[in-house]
Amino acid sequence: MTLAVCPGSFDPVTLGHLDVIKRAAALFDNVIVVVMVNSAKKPTFTIEERVDFLKRATASLKNVEVDTYNGLLADYTAMKKATAVVKGLRVMSDFEYEFQMALTNMSLTPGVETIFLPASIDCMFLSSSMVREVAKHGRDISPFVPEGLAEEITAKLTQKE
């Protein structure tokens, strides 16, 4: 059985993430989407909120599960005996960071490949930070996030502190 791990901070999940998850689910027997810590980012949504959004977004994908891990991706893939890590690439500027991560993970856990999927054309501009920015200013984010999530994401981002 092949197992792909799709890691990310998913703050929040976008249609771009969902596109990569769906394509990974078509390529591998099983997929784990794992919400992890990116030490360079301060998340807006709690781990529980991000997991809940992902579970709802992937509910119809029977070979996909959602998990969290507060450690190194290389340790997680070793623990799960994963076949590969699958990540999306939108633009060349993603590549430098993702390439460094892939080489780090390969040297920590040899044998787990990183596979990059090019973003689908209609998802190339999507990012969690763009979604947060648009929602914060009260504009409709429903074209950018999985069905049923726009209202809750916007509510959190527009609530008064």
**Which residues contact ligand PNS by CB under 6 A?**
7-9, 36-38, 41, 72-74, 101, 104
User: What number of H helices and E strands is found in the chain?
Assistant: 6, 5
Is 17 annotated in the active site?
yes
Binding site for ATP, by residue number, is: 9-10, 17, 88-90, 98, 123-129
| Catalytic-role residue among 23, 50, 128, 132 | 128
Please list the residues that pair with 30 across neighbouring strands.
3
Q: Between residues 7 and 146, which has the closer beta carbon with respect to ligand PNS?
A: 7
Please list the residues that pair with 34 across neighbouring strands.
7, 67
Token representation of residue 93: 């500027």
Residues in Cβ contact with 67 at an 8 Å cutoff, skipping those fewer than 6 apart: 32, 33, 34, 35
Binding site, by residue number, is: 9-10, 17, 41, 73, 87-90, 98, 123-129
Shortest separation between residue 125's beta carbon and ligand PNS, angstroms = 16
Is 107 annotated in the active site?
no
State the catalytic residues.
Answer: 17, 41, 90, 128
